[in-house]
Structure 1
Amino acid sequence: MSQTINSILVPTDGSDGARIGARRGIDLAATIGADLHVLSAVDARDIEPDLNADGQTERERLLETEAERAVDSIARLARTHLSGQITTAVESGIPFQAINDYVDTHDIDLIVMGTQGQTGFERVVLGSVAEKTLRTAAVPVVTVTPDGDIVEIGDQRYENILLPTDGSEGADLAIEWGITLAEMYDATVHTLYSVDTSRFGGVEGSAE
């Protein structure tokens, strides 16, 4: 049974890695005709507690301005490719929690995001947010590495999709979503079950 994707969320922090992830999200939204949501979260932990009230307000205003620029940049790119609705938002809070809250309140079907930035600092920050989002999100998350091939939006193709499984309910649900993507792009599906030989006391090798 395939899944329906009507709305896609693209989180961004303004980094190059986030923009690469956003391009994939825009491409997917264009392919299936989904609405696109672009979100940037102002991390309250970045506001120094030792600043006075005026200093904290100015720092928060600066962070909000940077977040607005980040979402506007992605939205401008999306408008040249999408006919569906594009919604932008800036929220305050811990980023992965802000992403999850937005998913819940806006009926999001899928998250598409970069896994890490291209500088050392971006790798730590964006990578941490992506990892926490993967573990806690209530909807599927498509992550995009920064070192993949960059193609024009509308020209992205997925020819082969690998669906690993351990037979669990979670794996079965992931397979449903994988099949959905495969149908959208007319891709070949590969399934894999790998036996963990480490459970057999030093026996080396694997079965597929």
Structure 2
Amino acid sequence: MPDTAVKIYANSIPFTGPAGTLIYTGKANTTCILKSIVICNTGSTVSPRIYIMINSNRFLVGGKQLKPYETLVIPVSDIIIGPSETMHIYQEGTPGVANIRISAIERDGTPTTLGLSTSRLTLNASGIAIIPSASDSSKRLVKSLVICNTDSVVRTINIRFGGTGANLTLISNYKLAPYDTILIPFTDILLTSGEFVEGSADSSVVSVHVVTQVVT
């Protein structure tokens, strides 16, 4: 079956507090691929903070504050939502001033049957496997890597592709601004058999979302 384009949400962002408002639940035997998130602050004097969560505990947007009349495009770049996974949103500030539109495609099949794998976790200072080594000898492409700082201060990020050696570092001491979300532009970097991706942050307040695809 061809992909089905879907509008996940298009309205004002609810003012519902930290639990957020549920706007999407992954469907059975279906993979949702996020394509676009656009947010607009229609207020002339207020600056709301915006939150978008996957599975209630991993932020895609973790308190980003919009200036009056600002429009913001969130770099989600093909982050996937699998069956039974959820997306919640909410804002802090003045109710009714922030609008959001989220677009995606739905593809028949679970991520596993489509050769896709996703990982969502919080970085720490000692380093953690963002993408573990494969249990078999498969090769994988890194399709998407999105990082969100949920803290009020700049955080320092390091990421190594392939293993733990310093010679494998491709992101070194990157300064991630408070409440910012970034897309790491390493689409289609290849991981061969046994390789993995390791990341660290100077405090456990940074969420990471990653998608890989098995290739031959």
**Same-fold call, TM > 0.5?**
no
Instruction: Name the TM-score, length of structure 1 as normaliser.
Output: 0.30
Instruction: Select the structure that is richer in helix.
Output: 1
Instruction: Name the TM-score, length of structure 2 as normaliser.
Output: 0.29
Structure number with greater Rg is 1
Instruction: Select the structure that is richer in strand.
Output: 2
